[in-house]
Chains A and B, each alone.
Chain A
Amino acid sequence: MEHLNYQFSRSHEWVKEEDGLTWVGISDFAQNALGDVVFINLPEVGDEVTAGDPFGDVESVKAVSDLVSPVTGTVAEINEELLDSPELLNSAPYETWIIKVENVTDTEELLSAAAYDAFCETEE
């Protein structure tokens, strides 16, 4: 499975560590529940994010959902490609990061891939 080495929040964001940064995206379950993603609001580089608090939002045709940060830290990079092509979150959720965070000081309680899949079963 492509997401086996990822960790997950209960609000359906994924987290992975790479190049010394914390990458954040949304899970396959999340994109499926949202339906066609048509718009995303992103923070700016340098903004502080707090674990458990929204850092942006993502809108599908049907509704708007907050993006909840799994970590506390500083935004190092944002995925600007998503501003024009938010549908990448639907087509490749695990290859599409939303923000990369540095100076991480706190992390929510995260689930392993297997535990997250089990958690999703209960959500349906």
Chain B
Amino acid sequence: MSELKRTQLYDVHVAAGATMVDFGGWEMPVQYPEGIVSEHLYTRHACGIFDVSHMGRILVEGKDRFAFLQHVVTSNVGALELNRSQYCIIQAPDGSAVDDAYLYCFEEDNLWLVINAANIDKDLAYLTPLLAGYDCKLTNISAEWACIAVQGPKSKDILTELSGGEPLTIEPIKNRLNIVKLEGRTARIARTGYTGEPLGFEVFVKSEDVVWLWNRLVELGAKPAGLGARDTLRMEAGLPLYGHEMGVGPDGKNMPIFAVPLARFAVSFSPQKGDFVAKDILAKQRAAFVKIMNRDFSAIEDLPYRIMPITLLDRGVLRKDMEIYKGDKKIGWVTSGTMIPYYIAEGEGLESVITDAVAKRSIGMCYIASDTLVDDVVEVDVRGRRLKAVIPESHLSLEAPPFARPLIYGTELKKMEAPVGDGLAKALTLIAKAERNHLWRQTECINLIPSENTPSRAVQILSGSDPNFRYAEHRKTKAFYDKDIFYYQGTKFIDETEQLLVEEMKKYFGCSEVETRVTSGQMANTAVFSSLMDFKNRLDRKNDPKRLGYVMNNHIIRGGHLSAQPMGALHDFIAIDPKTEQNAVVNFPVLKDNIYKIDVEETKKLIDQYRPEFIIFGKSMVLHREPVAAIRQFVDEQKIPTTIMYDMAHVLGIIGPSFQDPFAEGAEIVTGSTHKSFFGPQRGVIAVNYKEDELKYELWKTIERRVFPGSVSNHHLGTQLGMLMAAYEMNTFRKEYQAAVVNGAKCLAKALADEGLAVEGDPAIGYTETHQVVVSVGYGQGSEVAERLEQNNIIVNYQATPDEEGFTASGALRMGVSEMVRFGFGEAEFKKTAALIAACIRGENVKEDVKKFRSEYQTMRYCFDDKTVENALDHLAGIMRR
């Protein structure tokens, strides 16, 4: 045993009673006295810490370090920016793995390559001769630095306590890095790990600090976990282990890299990589992989087996090297397997609760014939017995932070209870339920969803009247001097309505052109993006059109809306940046001391660097005005050709002196949805301020064409009529309404703060400049609190703040005041609302108080309440009743 190497934490492990074993030449803790099952479970529900100091840390220096790494590892190292990390594979000339590794860029002038402990000597022996001709140096700095993996839902809290509240990484995104002080000691923190935990960090510290860090983590509630739990956790997460899912396979041959699912992300064929080791063989593997994924097995000999998860259906335990059969045919081997514990969850969806009850499942990974599909049932030879197993999609989901959630094979959601009876009975049930819902939301609830409003009775009735069922496709036709030509008869009233609506909206925006046919804000954005791309390619129709890039927008975790993201409406229009091999999107940087506000100076630097062809302001969690004027001035001065758009979905109804005036400040295009702070029916709108003699007026013409026939055929004529009424109302009551909304939001924010709640934003400006208020209720608590408020008739959104990992980790509530302002809420009423919210959050039942309070505010403001209007509407509704 004396020849075994020991990490800087060896004595700590022994003192803690760990069972020490030989792991690749290192004397490491396989488990502590509580055992693997307990360590596994503690990591999944709280925080496990793992000594990973045995892993090799190689400093990569020299001006050719990127070129060298591009040659010897599979990933696109050129995409690795400062404070990012990247998974990669060190490939052998035969297209198998020498090792898998992680690259970290903590500093501008070097990289760290972290490799498996057992492979340090082998990897260095392989890599060193390849350095010839490169100005690049590899130094093994493993002894100077130690590393602790801090993994699990509580890991962030524990480390943030040590950082004194400083954010651990600038953005809460996997693979981000940062150098921070932990109680005065420098630590290199990476959002990486090998457990499948959505919240997990690897913390590198100088060797002399590691015992201190380990002990502090334990004091703060983390528990030591050994290599045993590390193995079960990574197996459950489907992460490969060299020697099991990589390297020499169970058939005695080297496993091709594309057998591992991670290869899809870890292998790049970017032109930046130039010629790299095993490029041709990997390309062949990839071609086979693509065919296999398309269920074309004609090239299966290039990739005969793949790594997949496997679940045992019969009683037993899977172990490495067990053979897998389909009938009499051997089709693969288990590469990793054991019995893995999990906490049983009760209930469904967001309301599901992770209980204390523990169950176990026999799962693993396998190297199996590449024509095997998910849900295929196979047999495993478990020491002479043939047991049934199945190939699941995966064992674990990381999709709902802060918890990694086990996916138990065969779990089915409960079916919704269908109404009983025949068609008539179902019809009556539906009407009764609709009535109950209408009364509940309209007369008993305090509605604070910022993306909602209630349209006036006039808007509602008009929206349901006859045009609602009609068709009115139309387009401007050059032959008739751009007169709109309709394709259907019976549409003269609709034509008139639409022309009036366009004029009212031009008046509202103070702009030259408006398109009202889009039926949602998202559609408005899609039409604009499509138009920009079409405009960009208008002089070359003989080649594939080029996509948009770069595009600057607000990041979704900082409040940006889906409709301006690559995963949303930008999806089909955004280019791939060849350098990063990711969408060519640049996000607005935010102020360090106010993450809700764009940092104008930093934005200018990024605009200068990337020269984005398109800048999209606007977001759905919005507390501030957007710096349209400052950015317009900058791009004009710098003569940077770009298009500035402001997606005003949320703030469409407060355009003007109470908020901001996008066209006066220099926006060219404004899109919006008409039913948030604007109180129309649910539609979209596009406005531009191009004049007929401008070049970009052609872009406007493109927008019209991309709306019809590009986006809509028929364009929902009932709500268009309702929208005209809403536009009349808005243009009549605009000034008072907008002032009341912005003031109401400030009142609500202040009252909530006075109640002791953590209101986000800058108190100096009254927390908000919009209709929205954001309140922090505790990490991961957002959805539960929002549900409790709903049970008490207060309707809000749960919301992830910019430093939270995703919607299930939401720690905030997002509220908007527009709808309640329309029902007469002012300062006193928002104070009362804040008191009710605070009481409910404290655990009091306020439902009856809310109902009683709301019952006193049933009359809608900022609409025509004249008796003559009421009589006319009664008459119209009466006719519609026939």
Contact = CB atoms under 8 A, between A and B. Distances in A.
A64 B36 contact: no
A90 interface: yes
A83 B314 CA distance: 13
Nearest to B338: A61
A77 interface: no
A88 B319 CA distance: 22
A62 B282 CA distance: 34
Contact of A64 (B31, B232, B317, B341): B317
A60 B35 CA distance: 11
Interface stretch (A1-9, A20-28, A34-42): A34-42
B227 to A, nearest CB: 10
Contacts of B31: 35
Contacts of B37: 36, 38, 61, 87
A48 interface: no
Interface in B606-647: none
A102 interface: no
B339 A64 contact: no
Given A61-B338, A62-B228, A36 B316 contact: no
B35 A35 contact: yes
B360 A64 contact: no
B362 interface: yes
A62 B320 CA distance: 11
Given A38-B338, A39-B339, A59-B339, A64 B319 contact: yes
B378 interface: no
B9 interface: no
A60 B339 CA distance: 8
Interface in A58-88: 59-62, 64, 83, 87
Nearest to B232: A61
A105 to B, nearest CB: 27
B38 to A, nearest CB: 8
Contacts of B338: 38, 61-62
B317 A38 contact: yes
A90 B317 contact: no
A39 B36 contact: no
Contacts of B232: 61
A57 B37 CA distance: 19
Contacts of B462: none
B316 A39 contact: yes
B30 interface: yes
B415 to A, nearest CB: 29
Contacts of B36: 35-36, 60-62
Contacts of A39: 315-317, 339, 360, 362
A61 B339 contact: yes
A59 B362 CA distance: 11
A92 B38 CA distance: 17
A31 B228 CA distance: 16
Contacts, number: 43
A90 B383 CA distance: 24
A61 B229 CA distance: 9
A59 B364 CA distance: 15
B868 to A, nearest CB: 77
Contacts of B317: 38-39, 59, 64
Contacts of B35: 35-36, 90
Contacts of B315: 39, 83
A80 B808 CA distance: 41
A39 B315 CA distance: 9
Contacts of A60: 36
Contacts of A61: 36-37, 228, 232, 338-340
A90 B38 CA distance: 13
B553 to A, nearest CB: 47
A61 B317 CA distance: 9
Given A36-B35, A36-B36, A62 B360 contact: no
Contacts of B19: 35
A65 to B, nearest CB: 12
Nearest to A39: B317
Contacts of B383: 57, 64
Contacts of A83: 315
A27 to B, nearest CB: 17
A62 B30 contact: yes
A59 B312 CA distance: 15
A38 B317 CA distance: 9
Contacts of A57: 383
B498 to A, nearest CB: 69
Interface string B202-230: 00000000000000000000000000100
Contacts of B360: 38-39
A41 B38 CA distance: 23
Contacts of B316: 39, 41
A61 B225 CA distance: 14
Interface string A47-59: 0000000000101
Given A59-B317, A61-B232, A62-B228, A38 B30 contact: no
Interface in B158-186: none
A62 B339 CA distance: 9
A60 B30 CA distance: 13
Interface in B219-264: 228, 232
Contacts of A38: 37, 317, 338-339, 341, 360
A61 B41 CA distance: 13
Contacts of A41: 316
B203 to A, nearest CB: 26
A87 B315 CA distance: 16
Nearest to B360: A38
Contacts of A64: 317, 319, 383
A11 B258 CA distance: 44
B759 to A, nearest CB: 47
Nearest to B36: A61
Contacts of A87: 37
Nearest to A62: B228
A83 B339 CA distance: 13
Interface string B32-69: 00011110000000000000000000000000000000
A62 B232 CA distance: 9
Nearest to B229: A61
Contacts of A90: 35
| Interface core residue of A35, A57, A90 (most chain B CB under 10 Å) | A35
A57 B383 CA distance: 11
Contacts of B38: 36
Nearest to A87: B37
Nearest to B385: A41
Interface in B284-343: 315-317, 319, 338-341
A60 B317 CA distance: 9
B56 to A, nearest CB: 25
B388 to A, nearest CB: 16
Contacts of B341: 38
A87 B31 CA distance: 16
A35 B36 CA distance: 7
B228 A35 contact: yes
A41 B385 CA distance: 12
Nearest to B227: A62
Nearest to A66: B383
A115 B427 CA distance: 82
Nearest to B38: A36
A41 B339 CA distance: 14
Nearest to A41: B316
A123 to B, nearest CB: 14
A14 B27 CA distance: 32
21 contacts: A35-B19, A35-B36, A36-B35, A36-B38, A38-B317, A38-B338, A39-B315, A39-B317, A39-B360, A39-B362, A41-B316, A59-B317, A61-B232, A61-B338, A61-B339, A62-B36, A64-B317, A64-B319, A64-B383, A83-B315, A90-B35
Interface of B: 19, 30-31, 35-38, 228, 232, 315-317, 319, 338-341, 360, 362, 383
Given A39-B315, A39-B316, A39-B317, 10 more contacts: A35-B19, A36-B38, A38-B317, A38-B338, A38-B339, A39-B339, A59-B339, A61-B228, A62-B36, A64-B383
